[in-house]
């Protein structure tokens, strides 16, 4: 059960993610048609952080959790995967479906709060769950989030999480808490993918420690099989992201 406060925060985040988001993606990537040509030419490049952990995805049923603009989903579909995106922003869905059509593939796109994914009737259907960069800090209940992941994935399936590193988000991100152990919620701008773009509103964030993330994954019933930490894009002396692989 979600509290009324949690529902209000989710709705506020959803509104922020729908604020001129389609235009923001166009400013960042160009038109869906232009971006589709790049993906068709080199889908492996879009998936460069993910494919080493996935192998051949042809014929796999994949859920791209909070898949946003659809670039990951479309690239996976170009390699033969059967892909569903679950995301709550209509502006994201619009860009993703135009992108898929321009790339000559079909993807499914469920407009839904991921924590209510049980309402979609998709229990244990997916071979692979793909979560990529900027997922966990939108959730205030990590145990519940990974419990939903376990309900979506088939027994023996693979959870692949490529995410911003807690150290980078908590200590070095300008809008972060600058305290690794702080548990308070933070209000900050929703990401604008267009360099120098105007504010698109604010979101509520909860930044997690690595220990909290790993514990929630294991508690949900996953078996952790790999954890890789990657250098930051700007300062390679600190971790900027990590890749977690787990089996259901």
Answer yes or no: is pLDDT of 191 > 90.
no
Instruction: Burial-class residue 56 by CB neighbours within 10 Å (0-12, 13-18, 19+).
Output: exposed
What secondary structure letter does DSSP report for 168?
A: I
Handedness of CA 105, 111, 113, 119 (dihedral sign): negative
Which residue is it, tokens 């604008």?
192
CA distances from 8 to 178, 181, 191, 200, 204 (A): 26, 25, 20, 18, 10
Percent of the chain with pLDDT over 70: 92
- Write the pLDDT tens digit of every residue in 135-190: 999 999 999 999 999 999 999 999 999 999 999 999 999 888 999 999 999 998 88
105 pLDDT band, cuts 50/70/90, is very high
The four Cα atoms 208, 136, 30, 58 give a dihedral, to 10 degrees, of 130
| Residue 89 contacts residue 10 (beta carbons within 8 Å) | no
Alpha-carbon span 229 to 245, nearest angstrom: 12
- Global pTM? 0.92
Q: How many CA atoms lie within 13 A of 19 on its CB side?
A: 19
CA distance 182 to 186: 10
* Distance, CA of 186 to chain centre: 19
pLDDT tens per residue, range 45-94:
999 999 999 999 999 999 999 999 999 999 999 999 999 999 999 999 99
Tens digits of residue pLDDT in 9-25: 777 666 766 667 888 88
Q: What is the pLDDT of residues 233-243, one digit of tens each?
A: 999 999 999 99
With a CB cutoff of 8 Å and minimum separation 6, the contacts of 42 are none
| E strand spans, 39-81 | 61-65
Residue 16, phi then psi, degrees to nearest 5: -65, -40
Q: In the predicted model, what is the mean pLDDT of the chain? A: 92
Whether 198 contacts 179, CB under 8 Å:
no
């Amino acid at each position: 059960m979600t509290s009324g406060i949690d529902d209000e925060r989710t709705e506020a985040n959803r509104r922020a993610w729908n604020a001129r988001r389609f235009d923001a993606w166009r400013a960042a990537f160009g038109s869906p048609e232009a971006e589709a040509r790049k993906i068709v030419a080199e889908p492996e490049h879009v998936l460069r952080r993910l494919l080493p952990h996935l192998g051949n995805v042809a014929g796999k049923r994949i859920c791209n959790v909070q898949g946003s603009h659809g670039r990951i989903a479309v690239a996976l579909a170009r390699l033969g995967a059967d892909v569903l995106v679950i995301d709550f922003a209509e502006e994201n869905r619009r860009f993703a479906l135009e992108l898929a059509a321009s790339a000559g593939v079909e993807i499914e796109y469920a407009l839904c709060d991921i924590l209510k994914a049980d309402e979609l009737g998709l229990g244990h259907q997916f071979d692979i769950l793909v979560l990529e960069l900027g997922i966990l800090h939108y959730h205030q209940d990590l145990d519940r989030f990974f419990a939903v992941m376990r309900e979506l994935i088939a027994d023996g399936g693979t959870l692949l999480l490529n995410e911003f590193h807690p150290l980078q988000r908590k200590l070095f991100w300008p809008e972060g808490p600058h305290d690794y152990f702080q548990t308070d919620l933070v209000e900050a701008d929703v990401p604008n993918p267009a360099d120098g773009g105007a504010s698109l509103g604010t979101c509520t964030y909860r930044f997690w420690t690595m220990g909290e993330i790993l514990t929630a994954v294991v508690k949900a019933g996953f078996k952790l099989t790999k954890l890789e930490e990657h250098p930051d894009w700007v300062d390679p002396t600190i971790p900027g992201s990590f890749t977690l692989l787990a089996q259901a």
